[in-house]
Structures are given as structure tokens and as C-alpha cells.
Structure 1
Amino acid sequence: MLQQVALAVGLIVLGTHVCSSTFVDIDKNMPPFTVCVEFAVFQFNEQQEDEFAYKFLRVRRSQRQKLTWIYLMDVEMGRTICKKHDEDIDNCPLQEGEGEKMVRCTFIVDAKPWNFQYTILKSNCTKN
């Protein structure tokens, strides 16, 4: 009997852990998600050696890990004519011709909006 109880408790704990690690689709306009996108794009720009800023173009995938504040986003960004520390990069035109560059990135961001803390857990970017 004790073994059966231990097994049942183990399965419940394991099941909760497995379920909490799966991502589910969410509305890409949900405020916590949009803040995470802005944070990820800002961090991307900060880490680039390129003097020009990349701006957010579109969300290809928006997901949240069940029972957490961890978000997965697949976004497209384009290289602008603005420097990365200019204001209003969102309204800056994209570069054309030789300077034109597009990237697609997948970010996983851990959000703690009540503390204004955001952490990129994983990022992967490829040039389009």
C-alpha cells in the first residue's frame, strides 16, 4: 500500500513538472508578452557589434510555458538606418540595397513583471 501511495505521489509530481514545461499559444498582443518582445529586441541590439539598430517587424509565434511567466517568441527583425541608441527606432526606415539585413530570432524570456525583471534564457537567430 505504501509503495502505491509513493508511486501515485511521484507520478503527480512528475506529471505537474512535465505539464508545466510545455508551451501553449497565446495572444501576441497580450501586454506581458509584448513587453518581453521589446526587451528581447533591445537586448539583441545591445549585443550586436553593428552600429545600426534592428527593429521588430512581426511575431511568427507567441507562446507561454504553462503555469509560469516564461514566454517563447519567434520574431522577425530588420536592420534600420538608425543607430542603435537613437530614439524611436520603431519608426525608423529599414535599410535597402547592400545594407539590407533581416533576421529571425527565437527567444525564451523569463518575466517577472511585478519586479520589472526580464531574463533571456535562450536565444537563437538566423539571417534571412
Structure 2
Amino acid sequence: MLLKVPLLLGLIALGPPVCSSKFVDESKNTQLFAIGVEFAMFQFNQAQEDEYAYKLLWVGRSQRKLFSWNYLMDLNMGRTVCKKHDEDIDNCPLQEGPGMKEVNCTFIVDARPWISQFTLLDSTCLQT
């Protein structure tokens, strides 16, 4: 019984960092983060009732949750002249005039690269 007490205390002491929900800065150039951005953009476009696609203008915050593959990202997107199912939206010009729209979104994406699975855990968007 006495041997179990130090072991229990050690596990309690190690617990909080392992179970941390803290996000830390992540390079925007890492492959998994970039794939997460593409996934978030695709999900955003699919969820829109708008027939026009939005493309990435810039990435603000890029973070990863400690001890996980959860990515937190702030993305600024602009409405293009291309439809959402067109190919090569990245090279599509932005709409101008009354059709011009920009959206700032925060996404949390869970990546499971070993099974090629991505899940959108949360998204919040505001039109600017």
C-alpha cells in the first residue's frame, strides 16, 4: 500500500501537463497545418449557401494544442468570381463592387494523419 502512494502522487503531478488544453504557436509552413487550412476552407465553402467560392487571403493565428493534433487557425477569406465546385479556386480573382465580401474565421481542426482523417471541431466566422 505504501508503494502505491508515491506512484499515485507522481501520476497526479504529471497529469495536468499531459491533459493540458493549451494551444501553442505552430509554423504556418508545416504540412499538417497547411492541410488543415485546406480542409477548413473546403468545409467552409461546402457549408455556404452562396454559389461562389471563398479563397484564402491570409492566415492570422496558427496554433496547435499541446499533446494533440488539434489546430487552431484564424483565416481571412475573400469571395471569388468562381463557383464553389470549380477547380483551382486559389487562382480565381476576387469579386469587386457589390459582390465583394471578406470573412474572418476561426477554426479548430482535428487531424488524424495516420488514417488521413480531418474533422472540423469548431468554426466561428464574421463578415467584414
Please, what TM-score do these two structures have when normalized by structure 1? 0.91
Partner Cα distance (2:66, 2:44) in 1: 25
Query: Any residues of structure 2 matched to 1:1-128 within 5 Å, and which?
Result: 6-18=8-20, 21-128=21-128
Partner Cα distance (1:114, 1:7) in 2: 34
Shift, 1:104, TM fit: 0.5
Indicate the RMSD between aligned Cα atoms, in angstroms.
1.4
Shift, 1:67, TM fit: 1.4
Shift, 1:116, TM fit: 1.1
Partner Cα distance (1:42, 1:15) in 2: 33
Partner Cα distance (1:34, 1:15) in 2: 26
Shift, 1:15, TM fit: 3.5
Shift, 1:66, TM fit: 1.1
Give the length in aligned residue pairs. Answer: 126
The letter of the residue matching 1:105 is: C
Shift, 1:8, TM fit: 4.1
Secondary structure, counterpart of 1:76 in structure 2: strand
Shift, 1:90, TM fit: 0.3
